Each structure stands twice: as C-alpha cells, then as structure tokens.
A and B are shown apart, each in its own frame.
Chain A
Amino acid sequence: MTATLASAVPTKRRRSVTARQNLTGWLFVGPFGIVFLALLVLPIGFALYLSMFQKSMIGGTKFVLFGNYLKAFSDPSFLDGVWFVIRFSLVLIPLQMAVSLAIALILDIVITRYARFSRLMIFLPYAIPTVIGALMWGFLYSDNFGPLAEIFEAFGQSAPDFLSSSLIFYGLLNIVTWQWAGYYMIIIYAALQGIDPTLYEAARIDGASQWQIVLRIKIPLLTPALLLILVFALIGTLQFFNEPQILQQLAAGAIPNDFTPNMYAYQQAFSLANYNYGATISFALAAVVFVCVYIFLFATRKRGSFTS
C-alpha cells in the first residue's frame, strides 16, 4: 500500500513537470508559429486552393482539380520559360562560382591593407537593391548614355546592344554575376578563414607549392560551402524575376511577358486578372525547383556534408 502511494506521487509530479515543460515549449514556439502559419502556410494553402479552379471571362470559375497543372505543363509559354531559366542557370552558376571562388582565394592569399578594401568593394554590388542595379545597368548598356558606346567608338566599332533579343541573355548574365559574386565570395572567404592554418604549414613542410595548397587543401575543404552556394544560386535563378521585369521597361521586345516562369505568373495574376492560373504557374515552378534541387543533392550526396 505504502509502496504504491510512494511511487504514485513522483509520477504525478513528473507528469505535471512534463506538462509545464510542454507549455513552455509551445510558448517559445508560439510567436514564430503564428507568423509562420499566418504569413506562410495560409497563403500557400490559399494559392493551392486557387490553383484548382479555372477562371474564364465567359462562364466564370469552375473546379478542375489538377486541370490547370496539365495545362501548365503543356503550355509553351511556361515550358519555354522553364527551359530559359534552366539554360541560364547552367551558364550562370558555374561562371558565378568560378568568379567568386577565384576572388576569395586571391583575397585569402594577399594580405595587404588593400585586401580589406577590395573585399568591401567586391561585396558592394550585393548591398545595392536588385531593382536599382538593374536600372543602373540599363543605363550602362544604353547607346546614348552608356560608356560602352564610347569605348567601342574609340576603336571604330559599334557597341553590342545587350538589350536586343539576341544578346539579352548575356546582358542579364553580366548583371546577375555582378550582383551576386561578391556575396558568394564572402561566404567562401568566411569558410576559408575556418580552415585550420596548421594544414597549410604541414603542406609547406611537405614541399607543397601555393598552387598545390589551393588545389589539394583549400578547394576540397571548401566543398560544403560551394555546395551551399550552388543550391542557393539554383533556387534563386530558377525564380528569376527582378532584373528582367525591370529591364522590360527598356526592352519590351527582347523580354516578353512569359520570359521566365515567375514573370509569366505575374502577368497572369496581375495583368490578365487570372489569379488561378498565376497560382498554378507558381506551384508548377516550385515543383520544377524541387525536382532540380533534388537531382542536384542526389548527385552530390557523397561529397556534400551539409546535406547529411
């Protein structure tokens, strides 16, 4: 009798302690939870709900379940846009990573008082809002205001028009690389600072050249940081929107409304008042991003450590 009583009391107390701990936990999660639900889960749920209806000017709105998705994945506007951002990613990301990696490695080796200043200057474009950056490049590419025209004129040539439909790819490539290389450089640079310097010392004692240290020690140890950048860049580029949307004001012919999937979703929702199809395009794009990132992570699963 006494034994059971004695054991019952602690259990009860333990239970109330657990309950209180649970409550405390919920209170901590609460503020985030509310914001998360109200500003992320609810809108996404609503967009998903919208995407299951088809709206037309004549005949109104009707429930079609996944009909809009079938349409999206056979819609040349959407598919061409997806194909464009994939092509763009394939060229942009390696270029961007090569540039930022090279700069970070150089800044890591050069230790003068200019190194700090250079680092800041290379990072600066990232601090400029993308909208302003795009506007600025719009002027730099300009025939009447830009320096390009004058430089080419000095050699008796006419400047390439980076806002024409044949060169807009490279015009955008340049803007995005300029904007983001500094940011990626900082990430790589920070990762470089985290490498144990005794490794370099040991390598030097073994007779390794500076070049060999870079190739055999620094780059392999940077792999997690590089993979992180790659995933960021991939997701960001597949959702390409700001720069083309701004430059469209200067080059409507080269950048049509269905230039990228996000621009197409914007056009459908806000210019053609078809929120349903706009939501569908957004979700279809999310699916494409998910597949691309998954393929990428699967392909690099052995090398990356941040994924495990």
Chain B
Amino acid sequence: MKTTPVIAAAATLVLASALVSCSAGGDEADGGGGDGSDATNCTNTITKDDLPVVTMWAWYPNMELVVDNFNEASDDVQVCWTNAGAGGDAYDKFQTAISAGSGAPDVMMVEADRIPTFQVQDALVDLSDLGYEDVKANFSDGAWKDVSVGDAVYGAPVDGGPMGMIYRTDIFDQYGVTPPTTWAELETTAQALKDAGGPVFASFAANQPATTTAYFYGNGAEPFTYDPSSEGEIGINLNSPEIKEVLDYWDGLVDKELVGTEDQFTPEYIAGVIGGDYATYLSAAWAPGYLQGAGVGEGADAGVWAAAPMPQWDTADSVAINWGGSAFVVSSQAQDPELAAKAAFGVYADPASLDDGWQNQIIFPLNVGVLDSPEFQDYEVPFFSGQQANKEVYVPAANAYTGMTYTPLGQYYYSALTNQIAAIIDGSATGSEAADALQADVVAYAEEQGFTVK
C-alpha cells in the first residue's frame, strides 16, 4: 500500500526527466544548428582535423568518392557529408529545417527547379560574389540560367538532363520505320506502327509534369516570367497558343491510342519498357543510367537500344530541351557562407569525380571541360551498343539549351499540371481546356500567395 505511491512518483520522475533531457538535447543541438550541421556525424571520414568543416546533404550515388576527392585536394575547408534521402525526402527535411530556423546543412544538393521555392523563403545564399565569376566559364548560359533567380545565382551546377529519344532498334526494324525528326512525323510513325499491330510509340504520364513542361519549352512557350527584385510580380502564360498546341497534340495521341498513359518510374512501366510495350522513351541523358539500374538492357532486350535527337516542331528552328539536373546551393543557415560557397563550387568539379560520374553513367555533367573533351564526345556508350550518343545526341542538346524560368510556384504548378494531364488522359478535358484550367488554377494560387500576376 505504501510502496505504490513511491513507485508512481519514481515513474513520474523518470518520465519527467526523460522529457527534460529530450528538450535539453534539442537546445544543445540548436547551438550547432541541429543534426543538419552537426559536423560530428559525417558519413565520410575527415582526415584534416584542423580545418573548418562545412556540412552537406547530397544523394549522388558516388558521393562518397566525390567528397573524398574534394577533401583531399582542399587546404582550407573539409566537407562533412550526409545522405538525407533522395529528392522529395531530402526536400521535406530541408523545408522543415528552414521553417524551424535551424537544422539545415551548410550546402545542399537540389534539383534546379526547386531553387526559387527555397529562395523566396530567404533560405539560400546569393553566390554571385562568392566565387561565381571564377567558374562562370565552366558552364553554359543555359546551365547558369537554371540555377539563377532573376540576376542572382543560387546554385553551382553539376549535372543536367538534355533530352533525346531513346528507341528500340528491334521494333523499328521489324516495322520498317525510322526515328521521326518532327512531332508530326512522330504521329504518322506511331500510326504506322499501330496499324501494323505494333506497340504504342511513347508514354504520356500524369506523374511527369517536368517532362511535359520541357515539351512546352520545345514549342517556344515561356510559361513563367519571374524576377524576385520586382516585388512579387510574376508572369503566368500557361494557356498560350504554344502550350495549347502541345497539350492538344498529346491529347490527340492519347485519343488515337498511339501512346501509353501509365505513370513512369514504376515497376509496371519498367516491365513494359523491357517487354517492348513502348517503341521509344522520350527522356533525358541520365535515362540510360537509370534504365540500366532498373534492369533494362540486360536480358532479352540487350543491344536493342539506340538514341536519336528529340523530335522538333520546326526543324528549321530547333529547340533543345532539358529534364532534370542538380546543383549545390548554400543555405542561409550556413555559419560561414564563403567557406560553404567554396565547397559548393568545388565539390563534384574535379576531373576525377566527373569522370567517375559520367563513365559509370551516374550523371550527365554540365562542365564544358568534360562536354568538349574527346573522351566524352567519342565515348561509345555500352547501353547503346557502342553508339556515340554523347556526340550525336546529348552534347548538342546540352550546348543548345537556353534554360528555363523556374518560380516559387513550382511545386504547386507541377501538382496542378499532373491533375490536368490526368484529365486529358481520362478524356474529361481537351488539351486546350486543360491549358485554360491550368492557367486559372495556378493564377489563383499565385494571387493567394500574395503575388501580383502580370
């Protein structure tokens, strides 16, 4: 009878102290900036203990080697690297750290289309005066535009995704067709394939808003204009004639059942690619590496792949488009932005790391030193049975690429575009109707977020 309260009291005490120690732990981490910039918890081993340390989140598959290369060569800063998950997982953590005001790493790998979303929250450091001039010549203007918001540069470009058409030579040979050079030709080729009982030609997927946006640019559309110095003004042109033409075109292909409509990047889709359900894959330069990682080109479908340039609306005025690509940004929570910028520009910029990246098909580098090198240009890509795909398809596309305008509305825009692609696929909207609905949806969101829509 008498012991019970004692036990209860003890239990309460233990629990209370556990809670207190939890919050104390939190405070302690605050001093160091949370787990993100906790430099004692690196995946890599830092050998030069006396140098200042910059924390970094990145998910390139060969990141361990890349970081070691950087640290070995650097005499004034060391990188402490953690893999905080790929893409969405890492962004959610970064976003939470931004909202919380602490816990973000000094340097973070992001895809270029995310930069304005973080920039508008003052989460990124302008790199224009922190080493940009020194490396400016290493990248094309298009590459720089993708990591810039207005006149300010927020990212150090690493890799990109110039688009091309991967196609199956066995299917093309069987039905006697050649790679189309224009979108109109693509439709007739696809129709010919279908009439002869062949597979669908390509895929139009609701979960690929970024690809679809690249198609918009391919027709000369300029979906957004945005300059953060203009006090919240934004231009939204999602129902322009160019975009309507693109969406109506794909709507037509869907109606005639010339393209598949399953989501991409699913096991189902990959099984279809291996099984020859699609004659082509309109994709980016990183796609061969991705497909190989997923098991494509190893079994019955080995040696049947080849690459060709993207179809054009007008071959006399061809446009190079891009899908994906990442850069290193410096977080405004970085204690020493100058050192962090040094790391952001220096990591994955040395020849050894870049060579490892492209030779193992992990990245398509944007560094013009690599793009122009004979080894890269003449490389006979094993996935394409020795075709010099870099020289023939991807390098010209990368060089001709002029960049896109990304905005802080990017996340919402992708979600809204996914809904409209779904509407086109299930037949509840035509391409033009979808473009009008998309425009109305994104404009409403922009106004709600306090932007002035021009």
Contacts and interface: CB of A to CB of B under 8 A. Distances in A.
Nearest to A257: B415
Interface in A251-301: 251-254, 256-257, 267, 270-273, 275
| Chain A interface, DSSP helix/strand/loop, else mixed | loop
Interface in B237-271: 261, 263, 266-268, 271
Given A166-B426, A253-B207, A271-B411, A27 B267 contact: no
B419 A250 contact: no
Interface string A11-40: 000000000000110011011001100100
A56 interface: yes
B95 interface: yes
A24 B12 CA distance: 12
Contacts of B19: 34, 38
A86 B418 CA distance: 25
A170 B272 CA distance: 25
A109 interface: no
A157 interface: no
Interface residues of A, number: 35
Contacts of A275: 99
B421 A23 contact: no
Interface stretch (B75-83, B184-192, B215-223, B445-453): B445-453
B8 A252 contact: no
A247 B324 CA distance: 24
A225 B272 CA distance: 48
B324 to A, nearest CB: 17
A252 to B, nearest CB: 4
| Chain B interface, DSSP helix/strand/loop, else mixed | helix
Interface residues of B, number: 45
Contacts, number: 104
Contacts of A272: 411-412
Contacts of A139: 267
Nearest to A144: B271
A250 B271 CA distance: 13
Contact of A34 (B12, B232, B408, B412): B12
Contact of B422 (A27, A31, A253): A253
A142 B263 contact: no
A144 B11 contact: no
Nearest to A250: B266
B335 interface: no
Nearest to B14: A31
A158 interface: no
Contacts of A273: 95, 98-99, 117, 121
B15 interface: yes
B5 A253 contact: no
A34 B15 contact: yes
Contacts of A143: 268
A252 B418 contact: yes
Contacts of A250: 263, 266, 268
Contacts of A35: 15
Interface centre among B5, B268, B419, B448, by most A CB within 10 Å? B268
A56 B449 contact: yes
Contact of A145 (B206, B261, B263, B267): B267
Given A57-B120, A251-B263, A28 B8 contact: yes
Contacts of B15: 31, 34-35
B412 to A, nearest CB: 6
A43 B422 CA distance: 37
7 contacts: A24-B5, A38-B19, A144-B275, A249-B266, A254-B422, A273-B121, A275-B99
